Amino acid sequence: MATIRRRRSVGIPPHRRGTGGAVTGQAAPNITLSLREAAYRHPQVPDAPARLIAAITDAVAAVLGEEVRDQTTVGLLSVPEGRSGVGGQVA
Residue 38 has pLDDT above 60, yes or no: yes
Distance (Å, whole) CA 60 – CA 3: 18
User: What burial letters (b/e) apply to 21-33, b meaning 16+ CB within 10 Å?
Assistant: eeeeeebbbeeee
Give residue-wise pLDDT tens across range 39-85. 898 899 989 999 999 999 999 999 989 988 988 999 999 999 899 88
Comparing CA positions, the residue from 41, 45, 47, 7 lying closest to residue 27 is 7
CA angle at residue 69 from 67 to 66, to 5 degrees?
A: 40
Considering only residues 34 and 5, tell me which one the structure prediction assigns the higher pLDDT: 34
What pLDDT is recorded for position 85?
A: 87
Whether residue 30 has pLDDT greater than 60: yes
Give the Cα separation of 84 and 78 in Å (integer): 11
